[in-house]
Amino acid sequence: MNDEIKLTFPGGKRVNAEVKGFTIETDQPVYQGGEGSSPAPFDLFLASIATCSGIYLLSFCQSRKISTEELGLVMTKEIDKDKKMIKKIIIKIQLPPDFPKKYHRAVVSAVSQCSVKRHMVDPPEFQFMLNDQ
């Protein structure tokens, strides 16, 4: 498996990432000099938390043969205005009315195991280098 992510710069403020044969396009919003033609990189970061949480929710239900028809998840955030950074991420699991009550705690626990979130809680070391190092 190739773990490399290669970037290309197709113009303007757009940055594309080649990931496992897929191209993920990003652009900056208009107010930051981009065209707003694609999600911004930070939007993808947030979406990765939400979708990771979602796959844990989906897998929990599928493994127990619980209907996912009315299942949902909404992620919101609170901003620290002084630091201009996110201070809290809120993940609201939307369960269908007939979702078994015996699984309420367990589904929250399952969703909290999201690997993206776990990497934020125990972050990896970052190393930046030039191509000749």
Q: Which residues make Cβ contacts (< 8 Å) with residue 41, sequence separation at least 6?
A: 15, 26
Burial of residue 132 (number of CB atoms within 10 Å: 0-12, 13-18, 19+): exposed
- First-to-last alpha carbon distance for the chain, in angstroms, is 24
pLDDT in tens, 44-96: 999 999 999 999 999 999 999 999 999 999 999 999 999 999 999 999 999 99
For the segment 102-115, the average pLDDT, to the nearest whole number, is 97
3 pLDDT band, cuts 50/70/90, is confident
3-state secondary structure string, the chain?
CCCCEEEEEEECCEEEEEECCEEEEECCCHHHCCCCCCCCHHHHHHHHHHHHHHHHHHHHHHHCCCCCCCCEEEEEEEEECCCCEEEEEEEEEECCCCCCHHHHHHHHHHHCCCHHHHHHHCCCCCCCCCCCC
